[in-house]
Structure 1
Amino acid sequence: MAQIEITLPNDKQAQFERLTEEEFLNEERAIEGLLSAGLEAYRDVADRTEPEVERNLFTADAEDEYGRRGEL
């Protein structure tokens, strides 16, 4: 099994820890579940051919929070 090391901002680490405690048995299963869900969601978006699917998963959060063109 591959091993990966990442660095998370403190707020993301806290969110991950809370989610792990609430939803998963341990950190390893949390990472596996979240990564699998993220990859599947990305594949689903990438497989769509409709023109309205222009946002990618990495910009969607920023667009939702700040607006499509950075409006507040």
Structure 2
Amino acid sequence: MAQIEITLPNDKQAQFERLAAEEFLTEERAIEGLLSVGLEAYRDVADRTETEVERSLFSADAEDEYGQRGEL
């Protein structure tokens, strides 16, 4: 198994320690679980086609300018 050393700001370290203590058996399992979820989410975004991304960006711009129903 690979070993990785990271440096976290104090607030992120405190959040991680609380989460690990409340939700996981060990810090190692917490790291594995959080990395798995993050990598899965990243892969899902990366798998989206360019057309879907462009459409969602256009939709957001249109909603900002015209409202959700195309009203002025």
Q: Which residue of structure 1 aligns with residue 30 of structure 2? A: 30
CA distance in 2, matches of 1:46, 1:24: 28
Q: Which residue of structure 2 aligns with residue 39 of structure 1? A: 39
When you count helix as a share of all residues, which structure comes out higher? Answer: 2
Q: CA deviation at 1:18?
A: 0.6
- Stretches of 4+ aligned residues off by more than 3 angstroms: none
Q: CA deviation at 1:43?
A: 0.1
What is the TM-score with the length of structure 2 in the denominator?
0.70
Matched, 1:3 2:15: no
Residue correspondences, number? 53
Structure with larger RCO (C-alpha < 8 A, sep 6+): 1
List alignment gaps of at least 5 residues for structure 1: 54-72
Q: Which residue of structure 2 aligns with residue 16 of structure 1? A: 16
Q: CA deviation at 1:24?
A: 0.4
CA distance in 2, matches of 1:43, 1:22: 27
Q: Higher Cα Rg: structure 1 or 2? A: 2
For residue 23 of structure 2, what is the amino acid of its counterpart? E
CA distance in 2, matches of 1:45, 1:25: 29
Q: Which residue of structure 1 aligns with residue 48 of structure 2? A: 48
